[in-house]
Amino acid sequence: MSLDSPARRNIRGPESADAESAPKPLRPWSPETLRALREQLRADSQAPAREPWDLVVVGAGITGAGIARDAAMRGLSVLVLEAADIAFGTSSRSTRLIHGGVRYLEQGELGLVYEALRERARLYQIAGHLVRPARFLFPAYTGDRLPLWKLRAGLSLYDALSLYRASSHRGLNPRRTRELEPLLAEPGLRGAVLYEDAVTDDARLTLATLQSARRHGARVLTYAPVESVSRERGEDGTELQVATVRGGDRIHARQLVIATGPWTSERLLGAPGRELLSLSQGIHLVLRAADVPVRQPLVLQAKGDERRILFVIPWGARTYLGTTDTRYTGDPGRAGVTEEEISSLLSTVGRHLPGARLQRDRIISAWSGVRPLVRAGGSGSTVELSRKHRIIRNEDGVLAVVGGKLTTYRAMAEEAVDRALERLPRRTRPACQTQHEALVPGEALTRDELANDSLLADLSARHGPDARTLARRAAEQPALRERLVDDLPYRWVEVEHALEYEGCTHLDDLLRRRLPLALTDPQLGAGVARRVARRLIEARGGPGREIDEELERYAALVRRESGREVPAAP
């Protein structure tokens, strides 16, 4: 195959993509598309003359997605390789917040907070349908480690570091605090601060970032675990880096970037990856909003000298409770929720919200995530570890991005691509443009559109301007307008869209990360799982027996993550 053959250009995109040109419409990303890409990469691996990718990213979490988007927008040929599904790890198991990190001020991390608040403002602009401002209420009680005066002082600094681009904080007395949130306990309440941060859908933010990368020519292959990394000389004498995918296919790149989050280790990175990270686990419980009817997001302090912060976040017809910063060891993909953690979380929230129904049998679902923090000396709590990121280059020239925050992923990606460009043979060094272009192109939906069309209202929070395309499809096939679960906003048209355009391979890809029924449905998606699995297998071209295999796989993954059993699918 010649280097200029149409087949090769079809996989890579144009050799000299114009970073300033408008992105193409969203291309299909179906099981068939993934299979074709896998076969093409295998053919490339076996070809005597290999044209290397400019950049190969290992990992399709939020960091890898951001790097792929930035590089593709600068005109590089980009391939992303992911061992599981997109956002499989930390990027679908966070507390789902875009925030500066009020508590990092106490650790003196002013630079990190400034960067995070700057990035929050940028995400408002480029991902407005996924990153939505909210007023957080942070109460203070007698005996709390952080008294009200300290909260007010910290939030004054927070406002200044945001350059006053958001609503300034307000201090509230106890009466006004309980007017805003009657569910809060009255004894010992000293008041509260009300300030702005943002909520998001972490998995959809990762997906939208990757979709933007794909619009600019990047290719993404999931369920392609990289087994090893090496280097060799290309035919022209230049040094290339090689990622060997399970099965033996060898992918050649001018620059490899490891963005594997908590899985970062010496296996791919060599000596610099040894004991690089400390892992911090967070758990989250989902209940009906009627059981925990908070009016806005709450930030709660754990009692005593603990530095842990807990969140109670409204989520449509649901409310979730979350905490972070428990040291974790083991496989990040097998992190689950223990009975002890459930008891501790319910007890702490119950002290602040005595009127909430927090019995165990009221829990709908749960999730657990592991965050990668750059290791520091000592063996204390992960609460003390910095959320700053690091970029490392090993002796083979492979880059790795470690640590960091969901909020700052775009800035981390910009720095990583700047570093990657240092070893690429290019005459120009295009500037980063990711802060200027929306993740989903098109005009934002108007208030009138949302008010007059319940379908668009349901779709907009996940799809932004693309919701219009899905709505037109549902108008042509009215059955696709139906909700999967009566009190949740997920529609059947989203299932069809996910199978054709969102890179789904397995049932859990769709019911956990594209549409989070595994987290929000009291039946954990069981009522629709068989029907969805049947459509998945049809799209994948597999035999009927794979329907039950997918249902079993899905149930096992939900059990591992949440500790809950999926009812038998009808």
Close Cβ partners of 183 (under 8 Å, ≥ 6 residues apart): 292, 293, 294, 353, 355, 356
| pLDDT on residue 408 | 96
Cα(52)–Cα(41) distance, integer angstroms: 11
Cα(174)–Cα(200) distance, integer angstroms: 29
Within 13 Å of residue 533, how many CA atoms lie on the same side as its CB?
23
Percent helix, percent strand, percent coil in the chain, to nearest 5: 40, 20, 40
CATH code for residues 31-96+200-270+381-441: 3.50.50.60
Q: What is the pLDDT along the chain (570 residues), one digit of tens a residue?
A: 222 222 333 344 433 344 444 557 889 999 999 999 999 999 998 876 678 999 999 999 999 999 999 999 999 999 999 999 999 999 999 999 999 988 788 878 898 999 999 999 999 999 999 999 999 999 999 999 999 999 999 999 999 999 988 889 999 999 999 999 999 999 999 999 999 999 999 999 999 999 999 999 999 999 999 999 999 987 777 889 999 999 999 999 999 999 999 999 999 999 988 888 888 889 999 999 999 999 999 999 988 656 788 999 999 999 999 986 778 888 898 889 988 899 999 999 999 999 999 999 999 999 999 988 887 644 444 344 446 889 999 999 999 999 999 999 999 999 999 999 998 887 677 899 999 999 999 999 999 999 999 999 999 999 999 999 999 999 999 999 999 999 999 999 999 999 999 999 999 999 999 999 999 999 999 999 999 999 999 999 999 999 999 999 999 999 999 999 999 978
| pLDDT on residue 379 | 41
Find out whether 458 and 464 touch, Cβ atoms under 8 Å: no
| pLDDT on residue 304 | 66
Report phi then psi at 123, rounded to 5.
-70, -30
Find out whether 314 and 326 touch, Cβ atoms under 8 Å: no
- CATH architecture, domain defined by 134-199+277-380: 2-Layer Sandwich (3.30)
Q: How do 78-81 and 219-221 pair as beta strands?
A: parallel
| pLDDT on residue 382 | 38
| pLDDT on residue 48 | 63
Cα(135)–Cα(180) distance, integer angstroms: 11
Find out whether 558 and 566 touch, Cβ atoms under 8 Å: yes
pTM: 0.94
Q: How do 318-328 and 277-288 pair as beta strands?
A: antiparallel
Buried b (16+ CB within 10 A) or exposed e, 193-208: bbbbbbbbbbbbbbbb
Query: For the chain, what are the domain ranges?
Result: 31-96+200-270+381-441, 134-199+277-380, 482-562
Topology match between the domains 31-96+200-270+381-441 and 134-199+277-380: no
| pLDDT on residue 493 | 98
Q: Which two tokens stand for residue 294?
A: 């908070």
| pLDDT on residue 416 | 97
